[in-house]
Amino acid sequence: MKADTHPQYNEIAVNCSCGNSFTTKSTMGKPLHVEVCSECHPFYTGTQKIMDTAGRIEKFNQKYGKAGAKAAA
């Protein structure tokens, strides 16, 4: 690498709003605050909710399907 062309790549502290903190490397050069991390994100914690899109579509069709069919005819 050429000297003085690349930014400094230093270790920084990352603090999450859940209270978790860890270190990583970055060119940012100052501590970073994040709102979601792997300790509190639903995908990583296993509390992710799966959307029931089929049920929601059926509910929509029951509510608006007949009225929409009359308007289209």
Q: How do residues 2-52 score in pLDDT, each as one tens digit?
A: 888 888 899 999 999 999 999 999 999 899 999 888 888 877 777 766 666
Structurally, at CATH architecture level, domain 1-47 sits in Irregular (4.10)
36 is in an annotated binding site: no
Mean pLDDT of 52-70: 73
37 is in an annotated binding site: yes
8 is in an annotated binding site: no
16 is in an annotated binding site: yes
Structure tokens at 44: 């990583």
DSSP annotation string for the chain: --TTSS---EEEEEEETTS-EEEEEESS-S-EEES--TTT-HHHHT-PPPP-HHHHHHHHIIIIIHHHHHHH-
Q: What pLDDT score was predicted for residue 16?
A: 93
